[in-house]
């Protein structure tokens, strides 16, 4: 949108914002789109009394984006003091991102997976991947399959394929392992694990069959491809 038309649109929305939350939010979105962060922040502050938790979250993120971390901390602290559990977590996350990790780690120590997941995100953003993996490992050791999946994803993303493969194998052979089996097959194919991939194909793994053909088609005889199709492991052409 050209500058002149942008200003016209802002003025149009602004004219209806005083007693109308819908128009106020529309103005906020427009200001945010055009980088007018300070006024966008003021608009959101005016919407806090509407009781919408989304507004609080957006305002906190906007404050952090502008480097106004202490304001974001205070915003969440007020709500945490009133007993809002999600506010307690968000307060801990903002504090952790500003170097004050103790509160978030204390929540993680209570066994909260949500807190652990947020701490992992903070640590990864700070390039402290080994620490993030250690946080996940605690939950993995307690039998948390979701944490195991997240750890395998993290190791894969970080290029630690051998460690990731160990976890994907366990998950793929467990209950509800379809996603893990697909990720395992893809990683095996990318790492040249033809023999293991072929074994999984022979065991009836559809995802492994697709990855095998995609990566090793030049090595797969025509008869083998047709055999996979006959057994329903590959779609018919």
pLDDT digits (tens, 9 = 90+) for 90-99: 999 999 999 9
Percent pLDDT > 90 in the chain is 53
User: Domain boundary at 159, 189, 206, which?
Assistant: 159
Instruction: Please indicate, yes or no, if residue 153 is contained in any of the structural domains.
Output: yes
Mean pLDDT of 169-182: 87
pTM: predicted TM-score of the whole model, two decimal places: 0.76
Is the domain of 189 the same as that of 144?
no
Instruction: Please indicate, yes or no, if residue 92 is contained in any of the structural domains.
Output: no
Instruction: Please indicate, yes or no, if residue 80 is contained in any of the structural domains.
Output: no
pLDDT of residue 216 exceeding 80, the answer is no
Q: Would you state the structure tokens that stand for residue 78, as one six-digit string?
A: 């007020």
- Tell me the residue range of the domain where 228 lies: 175-237
Instruction: Please indicate, yes or no, if residue 70 is contained in any of the structural domains.
Output: no
Is the domain of 232 the same as that of 179?
yes
How far is it between the farthest Cα atoms of the chain? Answer: 73
| Pairwise CA distance, residues 166 & 168, whole Å | 6
Model pLDDT, residue 166: 96
Model pLDDT, residue 207: 77
Is the domain of 135 the same as that of 180?
no
Is the domain of 186 the same as that of 215?
yes
DSSP for the chain, written as a single string: --HHHHHHHHHHHHTT-TT-HHHHHHHHHHHHHTT-HHHHHHHHHHTGGG--HHHHHHHHHHHHHTT-HHHHHHHHHHHHHTT-HHHHHHHHHHHHHTT--HHHHHHHHTT-HHHHHHHHHHHHHTT-HHHHHHHHHHHHHTT-HHHHHHHHHHHHHTT-HHHHHHHHHHHHTSTT-HHHHHHHHHHHHHTT-HHHHHHHHHTT-HHHHHHHHHHHTTTS-HHHHHHHHHTTSS---
Instruction: Please indicate, yes or no, if residue 128 is contained in any of the structural domains.
Output: yes
| Mean pLDDT across the chain | 84
Is the domain of 232 the same as that of 180?
yes
Is the domain of 147 the same as that of 182?
no
Q: What is the pLDDT of residues 117-146, one digit of tens each?
A: 999 999 999 999 999 999 999 999 999 999
| Pairwise CA distance, residues 74 & 91, whole Å | 8
Q: What are phi and psi of 67, to 5 degrees?
A: 80, 15
Position with higher pLDDT, 98 vs 21: 98
Instruction: Please indicate, yes or no, if residue 185 is contained in any of the structural domains.
Output: yes
User: Domain boundary at 129, 159, 189, which?
Assistant: 159
Instruction: Please indicate, yes or no, if residue 63 is contained in any of the structural domains.
Output: no
Is the domain of 148 the same as that of 198?
no
Model pLDDT, residue 63: 95
Per the structure, the count of domains in the chain is 2
| Pairwise CA distance, residues 76 & 149, whole Å | 31
For the chain, state the CA radius of gyration: 25
Instruction: Please indicate, yes or no, if residue 186 is contained in any of the structural domains.
Output: yes
Contact 101, 124 (CB under 8 A): no
């Amino acid at each position: 949108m050209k500058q002149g038309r942008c200003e016209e649109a802002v003025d149009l929305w602004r004219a209806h914002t005083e007693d109308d939350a819908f128009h106020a939010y529309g103005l906020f979105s427009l200001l945010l789109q055009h980088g007018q962060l300070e006024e966008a922040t003021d608009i959101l502050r005016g919407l806090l009394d509407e009781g919408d938790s989304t507004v609080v979250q957006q305002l906190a993120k906007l404050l952090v984006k502008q480097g106004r971390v202490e304001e974001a901390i205070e915003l969440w602290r007020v709500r945490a003091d009133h007993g809002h559990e999600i506010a307690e977590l968000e307060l801990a996350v903002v504090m952790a991102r500003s170097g004050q990790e103790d509160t978030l780690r204390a929540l993680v120590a209570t066994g909260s997976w949500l807190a652990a997941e947020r701490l992992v995100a903070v640590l990864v953003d700070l390039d402290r991947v080994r620490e993030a993996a250690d946080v996940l490992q605690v939950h993995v050791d307690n039998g948390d399959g979701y944490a195991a999946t997240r750890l395998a994803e993290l190791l894969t993303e970080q290029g630690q394929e051998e460690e990731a493969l160990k976890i994907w194998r366990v998950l793929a052979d467990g209950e509800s392992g379809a996603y893990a089996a697909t990720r395992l097959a893809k990683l095996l194919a990318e790492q040249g694990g033809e023999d293991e991939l072929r074994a999984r194909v022979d065991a009836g793994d559809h995802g492994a069959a697709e990855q095998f053909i995609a990566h090793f088609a030049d090595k797969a005889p025509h008869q083998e491809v047709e055999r996979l199709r006959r057994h329903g492991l590959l779609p018919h052409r």
